[in-house]
Amino acid sequence: MMLVQEQKSDRVSFRWLAKLLVAIWDRRNPWRRRWRKVLFRIEATGRLANFHCGNGVRLDVPVRIGGGSGTLGIGNDVWLGWNAAPMLGKGTILLQPRSSKSVITIGAGTIMSNNVSMVAMGKISIGKHCLVGDLTQIFDCDFHELAPSNRCAGVGPIEPVSIGDNVWIGSHVLILRGVTIGNNSVIGAGSIVTRSIPQNSLAVGVPAKVVRML
């Protein structure tokens, strides 16, 4: 009986200690967010031709430019990274307007999960109040020519990507050049979007196709 009581006492003590450590860790999070934001602003301001970051932008994971030199605009109350979501490594997000003429814009109130990559040679735009799942990738070019003789000679065709307002993009989605996704649409997890999707629709699959209207 005494042994059982001692074991219960040990569990209570350990639970109390664990809760204390978690509380201390949670108190660090706001400072970690501020520090990430400072580092992000330094890199973006130092590398990019034009950079705007709105009020209330929150960074739960590191965000990097990755050598981009173009224009990046982030609206108010955008959330980059999500602590509770699946995360590879530190969950780093890549927002890279690669050339001096490249543009990436993210509308106000958009929430982006971890390990998202957006690389523009032309323009990628995301509307307001969108949800972007973890490990989503968005590209506006192929980065190589198709012909074997000059495959490494250029970036191939460049076509803008436009995502409307209130769009939900599931996890592990790949969106390729020339795609427009209309307002309020949903892209199912694991889809590869090669053609434009109309507004108010649900699209899934490889390649993504509209399965019903919303």
Contacts of 75 (CB under 8 A, 6+ apart): 54, 105, 106, 107, 108, 109, 110, 128
In this structure, the strands spanning 201-204 and 209-213 are antiparallel
Round to whole Å and give the CA distance between 212 and 163.
19
DSSP annotation string for 40-70: HHHHHHHH-SEEEE-TT-EESS-EE-TT--S
Q: Which of 52, 129, 144, 172 is catalytic?
A: 144
- 202 DSSP β-pair partners: 186, 212
Contacts of 24 (CB under 8 A, 6+ apart): none
Confirm if 66 and 48 have CB atoms less than 8 A apart. no
- 198 DSSP β-pair partners: none
- For tokens 């507004």, the residue is 199
Active site residue 129: no
Number of neighbouring beta carbons within 10 Å of residue 97: 31
Query: What residues act catalytically?
Result: 144
